[in-house]
Structure 1
Amino acid sequence: MDLLACFQLLLLSHLLTVNCSPGPLLDVVVDRYDIPKVCPREVEIEDFVRYHFNGTFFEDGKKFDSRAECRTMIPPQATLVFEVLMVDVFNPKDDVIVEAKEVPKGCTRTTVTGDYIRYHYNGTFQDGTLFDSSYQRNSTYNTYIGMGYVIQGMDKALQGLCIGEKRRVIIPPHLAYGEKGVGDFIPGSAVLVFDIHVIDFHNPKDPVNIKVTHKPQECNMRSEADDLIQYRYNCSLMDGTVLYTSDQFDSPSTTTLGANNVILGLEEGLRGMCVGERREVVIPPHFGHGENEAGGVPKSAVLFFELELVELQKGVPEDYMFVWVGDGPDPLFPAMDLDGDKQVPLEEFSLFIRLQVQGGKGRLRPGIDADSIIKDMFDNQDRNKDGKIVEDELTVTEDEVSKQARDEL
């Protein structure tokens, strides 16, 4: 049993003779008839206490109103009995008391001033009465640490925490809500007890953290902007709660890097990967979904991704459907005119483009049907729409080249 139970169960019975006129105190009898097994602290001189009581007369057990004036309610020489339940106790010199309940192994970083933290808590008084709980709202409490957004005692207690840590915090009223309290919610001069569980924290200056957990022996190319990739992933919160996984789908996820199809942190985590490589990526909210909720992702949540690159197709720049890898043929038309008849129909043009791609000399935009791309490219070059390209149709001005950038030859 802890400090809470000590004050919750402590009952004191006082027997004393009171003379409303000045006179000697005859005797005081104290019967401590219900004491907790574990009581780490007893009331001392100069402590401030809050307690409940019932006041009765010793002779007949009749209750009296102790709030009334002595001369009107309590007769002379009356012996009074007080049954007392101690609610809490503190000393004006008390500081915040922090008790670690559970500290994760391998904790390499703890909270400091300026960090933004998300945590769950139960808030009770010293007698165990619950006054607030984030669990009941099914939402973490989110705040900056050490910047005055919470009561002074909590600002101190949130320092030096690990992700996943659980601790109990006892805050005296002069570091909480003082003598005034908070309306009917928290009484004046109340000692507050918080049991907190840290879900995650980050600093607004945090970068995306990438850890390579497996790298294949051979890596001939790495993912970069405009590449079409397939990847597997698990996405979870820092407490291990799984949000999404590609395993729930029939095939890995597909995206084009640099196309703003995924959050910034995931984009960064997927770049520079080899096929078969696996990574763990920690994404702070300013590179994730920010302060907004998104599809089951809580506000300001730090995200943890486990990634594996499954397939990589090298891409082409935005607005292009085909690019040369290195320098293209010069002159171009004779290379396109495979049969040398001075004209290139669609079938011959298609064969030429496919030979360039197969030979690693050219690249089509991945993720789009190759036949459709080639047909668009052919139609763009067949200026007179007669179903064939001749050499004059490849001779264009610089202005025309800029207009045809999406189908570069």
Structure 2
Amino acid sequence: MSKKTRICFVDDEPNILQGLKRFMRPMTSEWEMEFHLSGEAALFSMTQNGPFDVVVSDMRMPGMDGATLLSHIRQDYPETIRVILSGYADSDSVLRTIGPAHLYLAKPCEGESLREAIRHPLALRRLLSSQSMRRALGGLESLPSLPDLFIRLDTELVSPHCSTASVAAIIGSDTAMTAEILKLTNSAYFGIGQRVSSVLQAVRTLGLETIQTLMVKTAIFRLFAGSSHAAPYIEGLNRHGLELSRLAKHMAAALGATTAQAEAAGCAALLSNVGALVLLDCHGDSYIQTLAGTGPDVPVHELEMAAYGVHHGHVGAYLLGLWGFADPTVEAVAHAPRPSQAGHTSNLLLSAVHLARALGPTFPPLPHGADEGRRLDTDYVHKAGLVDQLPRLTQLAQTISAEEKP
């Protein structure tokens, strides 16, 4: 008999907790649930009985509020999925949960919507903690860690004194990172149209999420630059990620995304091939030989799955999950090659990244002239209602591809 998933709900209003109990009653066969009136009570339960798999907390509570509770859990129980369920959507409240929370859900939230919001990250965690993943990473001496600069920036974000200027000052303290971010900001991939000469200007122009993603991408690619297996492919993978990022933003916008959603899609696409660096580093020439088997009916991710039990999207998502990236981003990277495996069509980031990969540039480690095979997940496209938009999206991809590259 499999162990039940442990989930904790925290809200200082008894009537809200009673409503949550009713909403969650259909899940009692799968989930072991506790309901607490305070963050202190939830933390005490964890010290006595061990960590929960998921904690869903209200934001505004007397004493310890939701952001503080999830910050404690993040520090002491980093594997726990952390969710804010709140009726307050002011910018200060949301900003304080950027680091501590994986998900931010607005009240009122229907029972099925809340159950689905919990199910998705749990399914993702199970996928990314499989034995196949451990085997695929077996050749890696140590897992890459987030750059110190990113951690400092993450800490600054939850500071009450956080500002665009303070963020820019942290990034500017690393000369090499500053140079790389300014170089990328001024490249044709972002199409700014004016020269950006300072980190402060870059943060204001591209937005904080994109700048953070560029920092992670730059640090990870720098880490693998010394790998004899990965180094020859770094330039191509870097260019591929930037091209995917640009295309994914356009795809998201074409699908009706908000500016913030389009930026998030671009960020997910930018990081979607970091798992390939890990597989190259772990498996070297055998990985390249594996890719040589691709063809019209054999896409890259199927070859990787046959050889290692996971594909490079899974590996990249595993790292992003460890680093605390938002679940929609992690899911978009994990399922980009075959989004139907996500089991739903509600993640716009996933749709945009998949379309960018399917209609965009060829995966760089493939032998020159290789046919990458069938890349479009037709089942997903039908379920997501995207069939009628494919001609327009294909034309969009061709137009962007034909534009001048740096």
TM-score by length of 2: 0.19
TM-score by length of 1: 0.19
Q: For the pair shown, which has the larger CA radius of gyration, 1 or 2?
A: 1
Structure with larger RCO (C-alpha < 8 A, sep 6+): 2
Greater strand proportion: 1
